């Protein structure tokens, strides 16, 4: 008889176990049952370590086309966990070992949300190991990562947002005012705003298409997909359209002064005369840190996105509409973040 015995972890090929039985059909069936039991208990004996699994999984995800920023994040998590468990064989990994790693991360100052991301990567990697027949179970499903408390944030007042924009306009980089206006009016992420091109904006119709984001890695700046791949087209208020029209004229005049013109793919926020190079997202974060004290703005850059959502919800827009505008894949995400702004949900 010959029975399937899983995938060979070294070659990636299917393997089989066989046995010769001399006797009746009943004897053969009994022997087959015993052989299957032995396979279940002993055949999956991968000698791969936790570190080797992480490397293989990340390479696999990279082959599937995961973005560089995502792969970079996975490699960072893999290095951190491998420092504690990298040499442990997968078949000997236990849930309590994972819990000790989570506790160590918390003691080192990592937030519960960060530890949750580590746990998600470990669980995903072990799920892949199970599909590859490297392990029989995913021990991460029995681990106990810390609960991530729902973070409450302070919604900035309209006066504070306007004051921040005015402080940027009066600074040595007045184009920052355009960036902050876009963040507050579109509800986009900083990378999405930096990734806007003039071709994405229809000044006459008052629409903006959000379809790319500028991303940063150490020593690298590149343009990729928006988060969760949620491309969308949003309406733009008349005040922001007016600001964009003025910024467009200024950009064209700057290009003409050096004998060039804006390229077909010119970025809205760019220091290049032809608009070919986008701003770095960190530039916006650092600018808020410099300007918020003089502006009386107590929030972070990302709170401009929260402010946009709060204005929509206060105006009576549904969570589905807000989720679409913010680029949330699931309206449940919007509910989770902004439930305290939805008093109608309690009625």
Q: What are the tens digits of pLDDT across the range 88-102?
A: 999 899 999 999 999
pLDDT beyond 70 at 160:
yes
Q: Considering only CA atoms, which of 287, 320, 321, 327 is closest in space to residue 305?
A: 327
- For domain 158-346, give the CATH superfamily: Intergrase catalytic core (1.10.443.10)
Q: Is the pLDDT of residue 21 over 80?
A: yes
Q: What digits encode the pLDDT tens for the residues 286-295?
A: 999 999 888 8
Mention every residue, 6+ apart, whose C-beta is less than 8 A from residue 309. Answer: 187, 322, 326, 334, 337, 338, 341
Q: Which two tokens stand for residue 15?
A: 């393997």
Which pLDDT does position 340 carry in this prediction? 60
**Domains 50-142 and 158-346 equal at CATH topology level:** no
Tell me if residue 287 falls in helix, strand or coil: helix
- Give per-residue pLDDT as tens, 170-195: 999 999 999 999 999 999 999 999 99
Residue 206: the pLDDT is: 96
Residue ranges of domains in the chain: 2-43, 50-142, 158-346
pLDDT at res. 151? 65
Q: Give whole-number Cα distances, 11 to 7, 43, 46, 274, in Å.
A: 8, 15, 12, 53
**If 0-12 CB within 10 Å is exposed, 13-18 middle and 19+ buried, where does residue 121 land?**
buried
> pLDDT, tens digit, for every residue of 102-127?
999 999 999 999 999 999 999 999 99
* Predicted confidence band of residue 343 (pLDDT cuts 50, 70, 90): low
- % of the chain residues with pLDDT over 90: 66
Higher pLDDT, 260 or 25: 260
**Residue with the larger pLDDT of the pair 82 and 220:** 82
So what's the pLDDT on residue 8? 66
Instruction: List CB contacts of 179: < 8 A, sequence separation 6 or more.
Output: 168, 193, 194, 269, 279, 284, 287
Residue 44 has pLDDT above 60, yes or no: no
Position 10 pLDDT exceeds 70: no
Task: Please report where in the chains the tokens 């990734």 appear, as a residue.
Answer: 195
The angle that helices 331-338 and 319-326 make with each other, rounded to 10 degrees, is: 100
**Higher local confidence (pLDDT), 142 or 2:** 142
Q: Tell me how far apart the alpha carbons of residues 302 and 285 are, in angstroms, rounded to a whole number.
A: 9
Q: Which CATH number fits domain 50-142: 1.10.150.130, 3.30.420.40, 1.10.20.10, 2.40.30.10?
A: 1.10.150.130
Contact (Cβ atoms closer than 8 angstroms) between residue 10 and residue 17: no
Task: For 216, list phi and psi in degrees, rounded to 5.
Answer: -125, 135
Assign 347 a pLDDT band (cuts: 50, 70, 90). very low
> What is the residue whose two structure tokens read 């990592």?
110
């Amino acid at each position: 008889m010959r029975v399937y015995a899983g995938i060979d972890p070294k070659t990636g090929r299917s393997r089989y176990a066989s046995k010769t039985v001399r006797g009746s059909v009943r004897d053969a069936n009994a022997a087959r049952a015993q052989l299957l039991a032995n396979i279940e208990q002993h055949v999956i004996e991968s000698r791969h370590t936790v570190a080797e699994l992480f490397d293989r999984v990340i390479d696999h995800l990279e082959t599937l086309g995961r973005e560089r920023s995502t792969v970079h994040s996975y490699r960072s998590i893999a290095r951190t966990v491998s420092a504690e468990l990298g040499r442990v064989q997968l078949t000997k990994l236990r849930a309590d070992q994972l819990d000790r790693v989570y506790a160590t991360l918390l003691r080192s100052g990592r937030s519960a949300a960060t530890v949750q991301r580590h746990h998600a990567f470990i669980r995903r990697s072990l799920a892949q190991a199970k599909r590859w027949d490297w392990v029989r179970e995913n021990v991460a499903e029995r681990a106990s990562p810390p609960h991530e408390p729902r973070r409450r944030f302070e919604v900035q007042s309209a006066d504070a947002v306007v004051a921040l924009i005015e402080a940027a306009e009066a600074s040595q980089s007045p184009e920052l005012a355009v960036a902050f206006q876009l963040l507050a009016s579109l509800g986009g992420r900083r990378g999405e705003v930096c990734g806007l091109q003039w071709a994405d904006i229809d000044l006459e119709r008052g629409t903006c298409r959000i379809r790319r984001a500028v991303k940063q890695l150490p020593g690298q700046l590149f343009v990729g997909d928006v988060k969760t791949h949620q491309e969308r087209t949003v309406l733009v208020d008349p005040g922001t359209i007016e600001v964009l029209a003025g910024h467009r004229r200024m950009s064209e005049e700057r290009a003409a002064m050096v004998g060039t013109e804006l390229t077909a793919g010119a970025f809205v926020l760019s220091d290049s005369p032809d608009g070919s190079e986008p701003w770095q997202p960190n530039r916006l974060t650092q600018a808020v840190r410099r300007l918020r004290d003089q502006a009386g703005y107590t929030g972070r850059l990302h709170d401009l996105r929260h402010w946009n959502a709060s204005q929509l919800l206060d105006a009576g827009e549904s969570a589905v509409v807000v989720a679409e505008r913010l680029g949330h894949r699931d309206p449940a995400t919007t509910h989770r973040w902004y439930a305290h702004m939805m008093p109608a949900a309690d009625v």
